[in-house]
Amino acid sequence: MRRLVVLAALLATGCGATVAAPEGGAAVTVENCGQRVTYDRTPSKVVTNDTGITELMFALGLADRMAGYVVGASQQGDIDSSPWRADYAKVPRLAEEISAEVVQGAGADLVFAGWNYGFSESKGFTPDSLKALGVPTYQLTEACRNGVGKQRGIMPPLEALYTDLENLGTIFHVEDRADALVAQYRKQVADAEKLVSGKPRPKVFLYDSGLDQPFTAGRNAAPQDVIGKAGGDNIFGDLDDSWTTVGWEAVVARAPEVVLINDYADGDAVTPDQKRAFLESYAPLREVPAIRDKRFFVLPYAALVESPRNPAAIEAFARYLAG
């Protein structure tokens, strides 16, 4: 019987680095979510939303360019396990939910967020509403709308990560640091792929949350590449979306051999152990191979959304699948 594997922390290099950026700087233009966006000056009071987004800034050594970050109470575990704990400690935590009032109160000159990672039409907090207030934005590429309703994702998840690192490198004039990180991450992923080369590829179900219906990841969310590069196949990799809701009958039909649990407190079952207990007790799943064989692996939320923890997550999961 395999025990539940919990990865409490993912190690990364370059933790807490600080890279100076010019106060003014020449205007730069990047492509963000399919649009050319120009930034007239180097931002110096950035507000970020969510742990993965915040850690992109930290990984690039840009903590000193931030006015603060917004992170919900359910993500405190991400902060505690973060390779960038020192940066979280020195940058103000502004609120648990982002809003125009939070942004204006911080005097933000850039908001870095994403659709369903802060931006929301229903809450009236969007790039357009911030533009009306004179506040520029940068949108997380994993969460870009793909032109089909509100579905998200316009490129493979790791390419989204590399794109954002390179764009942020341009915006903040730290291109060398961005290039070095991308090269490091590409090598880390390639090395992880070697661990599982030639081995059978198990079918993997990413379980985020949900009792009546599971919330999982399609092909445009980070778990697609976390699973795929680690030597597995995402059972919902055919869905042209990032994070989405499916039905339990679809999980049963696709017969996953491993369950990857998102350590994220959302819904009725909030801890990894509670999520596992629910899956094991839910009668329709009883004969699903992953449940029957008790094959569970846990990664923190910040490793399963687009973030600089993705390569280490791939390595950790690859070691589990190769074992």
pTM of the model: 0.91
Structure tokens at 125: 């907090």
Q: What is the pLDDT of residue 7?
A: 43
Look at residues 35, 102, 34 and name the one whose alpha carbon lies nearest to residue 68. 102
Residue 9 has pLDDT above 60, yes or no: no
Instruction: State the pLDDT at residue 25.
Output: 67
Report all structural domains of the chain as residue ranges with CATH numbers, in order of start: 28-188 (3.40.50.1980), 195-322 (3.40.50.1980)
Q: If pLDDT is split at 50, 70 and 90, which confidence band does 59 have?
A: very high
Q: What is the pLDDT of residues 168-200, one digit of tens each?
A: 999 999 999 999 999 999 999 999 999 999 999
Averaged pLDDT, 61-83:
95
Residue 143 near residue 115, CB atoms below 8 Å? yes
Q: How confident is the model at residue 266 (pLDDT cuts 50, 70, 90)?
A: confident
With cut-offs at 50, 70 and 90, classify the pLDDT of residue 26: confident
pLDDT at 17: 39
- pLDDT of the residue at 71: 97
In whole angstroms, what is the distance from residue 79 CA to residue 75 CA?
Answer: 7
pLDDT of residue 14 exceeding 90, the answer is: no
